Amino acid sequence: MIGRLIAAWFRRTPPAVTPANADKVTRHGPAVLIDVRESREWRAGHAPQARHLPLGQLGSRLAELPRDRQIITVCRSGRRSAVAAQQLASRGYQVANLVGGMAAWSASGLPVVTTGKRAGQIL
């Protein structure tokens, strides 16, 4: 029975947040926005306050993530970031997934920039 409870807890789906809420808590609050897209996608455009940590590197770079702050994961559409959020939640991180990803972020009128802080685009 204990094993089933633990397994169910690890399978729980992390909460989803809207682009507006993600922007608010990562720009002016306690959360960290982690972009799990590939480097080419990141270079084309990302949220100004995001940190880049590709999904394929997540397991080997966990030490870079804060344990004392909420993490919000984001990708292009929300699928890869949902996988990242689940992986982080199973390791005990406080995590949420940005619903709709960077496509929704951009459609909400929130800024998308390149590494040089110029206007970016979502690939």
Per-residue pLDDT of the chain (123 residues; tens, 9 = 90+): 555 545 545 556 899 999 999 999 999 889 999 999 999 999 999 999 999 999 999 999 999 999 999 999 999 999 999 999 999 999 999 999 999 999 999 999 999 999 877 888 788
Domains in the chain, number: 1
CATH number, domain with residue 35? 3.40.250.10
User: Is residue 36 in a domain?
Assistant: yes
User: Is residue 63 in a domain?
Assistant: yes
Domain that holds residue 58: 13-107
Q: Which of 112, 96, 116, 107 is nearest to 21 (CA)?
A: 96
Give the per-residue pLDDT at 83.
95
The model's pTM: 0.87
Give the per-residue pLDDT at 119.
81
Beta-carbon contacts of residue 94 (< 8 Å; ≥ 6 apart): 69, 70, 71
Could you give the residue numbers annotated as active site? 75
